[in-house]
Amino acid sequence: MTQMSLPKGLAARYRIEELLGRGGFSKVYRATQLDLDRQVALKIMLPLGHEDFNSEDDSSGKGEDLSKRFSREARMISKLRCQNTITMYEFGSEDGRVFMCMEYVDGDNLADVLKNHGAMEPDRVANIAKQLLSSLHEAHTMGIMHRDIKPQNIMIFEHMGVRDQVRLLDFGIVKITNNNEYDQEVADLTSQETLLGTPRYMAPEYIRGEEYLPASDLYGVGLVLYGLAMGENAIKSNSSFQILSKQLEPESFRIEDDNEEIDLSLRLIINKLIRKELSERYETAQEVLSDLETREQSNLMATMSASHAFIIENAKVQQSSTKNYFLAAMLFAALLTGVLIWGILSRQDPQSTPGTDARVEKTQGERGAPVPSVGSDKTLVEANAAAAGIQPMMDTSKGTGTPEPTAADPATKEPGSDTPVVVAEATTTKKKATTKKKATKKRKTREEKPDTTNVPEEDPTTPTPTTKNPSSDPTPPKEK
């Protein structure tokens, strides 16, 4: 259809940009709404007898019934408010052509995504499932069954940096379970329809002609999720007959338990959705949403537990490292303190350092030299001076004038050694000799003094013997 072939009223309001898709009795275009300058999806019903009109989709053989079906779809979409359901802007008829103006979704349908990218990550599959089920939950609550759940009717797109936002399209063959809102003519129209939808995603009970329930839509959802998780359709054949035969087989499709790429909770949810026995399948979309929420919370708790365990383990390692660093720091501080104390003590004057005399004696004893007596400060100074090879001054305080032994005197050196030997015994021996001499002199004086108490009177005529005064003897007594 070109711009010129549009009904006059539509051509004044919309400009056709491209063909998006076609069905048995309608086509969908991307168009520009001229008054608002926005992109829209324009769905236009084909006129009866048009070359693209597929009479097989007109089950009653009357184009009027298709027009009613088209109008019913518009009324259904206008009642849905879920953000995951396509939004309708306008509905009407121009020159006998029924049309709908809907939200244009600039994204990809799941059939193209599956074909181009293969299997999705489990969390991504669960995210898409939650949005799709939210749309169906609202529709089912209002008594609306979609009846054509398939990847081509599910669009995903990115908006404001958030990817995989979902829109459910094409409520063209909806079934209304609450007939009180519609006249008997519309109810009769529904009853005339048979096997409308896509066999690959049809529920077995619907193929057998049984009542279509919310669980029938959920079966199609399960087969869509199976393809997203596995990267392939549950039914591989492209033959409609073989596909219908597979759907009617008693054995259910399932994701095997040994598939470790899909977590257990998601496998269980998908397998329950595609159970062929109606009694074993989820009954409502809300039940599936609850299980998906539980899965998400479980995964979050598992992640938090793993993170908590990692944090605790890391804290233990850090605590152990901190403890080791603390001990190492204490040892280093103790070592540094010891070095500082040793340095301070090693710089002190030996005279003011306890144990200096003992160290001098030990050092000189190791050299094999006589150890001087250091009973007085002077002797200690003389000993240190002699050890350094310094000539001491004359000892004038005693008036002796006798020089102290020096390091230059050969007699004060140890044979075969250049190390001076301090001779301190000479001074000590001299002092001892002087003291002994004085004691001997006093003793002799006492012995020579006469006892006048019992001595008889001398005869004046008797000559007094001459007593030799020891003190007058210039010859000093020999030292013993």
- Catalytic residue annotation: 148
Query: Strand 97-103's sheet: what is its strand order?
Result: 14-22, 26-33, 38-45, 97-103, 88-94
Q: Tell me the backbone φ, ψ of residue 5, rounded to 5 degrees.
A: -85, -5
HSE-CB at 261 with a 13 A cutoff on CA atoms is 11
Q: Tell me the backbone φ, ψ of residue 265, rounded to 5 degrees.
A: -65, -40
* Contacting residues for 416 by C-beta, under 8 A, at least 6 apart: none
**Dihedral angle over CA of 288, 294, 296, 298, nearest 10:** -150
For tokens 């019934």, the residue is: 65
Tell which residue, 404, 406, 407, 444, has the closest CA to residue 427.
Answer: 404
Q: Cα(252)–Cα(471) distance, rounded to whole angstroms?
A: 148
Which residue blocks in 397-462 are alpha helix, DSSP H?
425-448
Q: Cα(21)–Cα(29) distance, rounded to whole angstroms?
A: 7
Q: Cα(375)–Cα(382) distance, rounded to whole angstroms?
A: 12
Q: Are 379 and 372 in contact (CB under 8 A)?
A: yes
Please report the beta strands in 273-316, taking only residues with DSSP state E, as ranges in sequence order. Answer: none
Q: Are 117 and 105 in contact (CB under 8 A)?
A: no
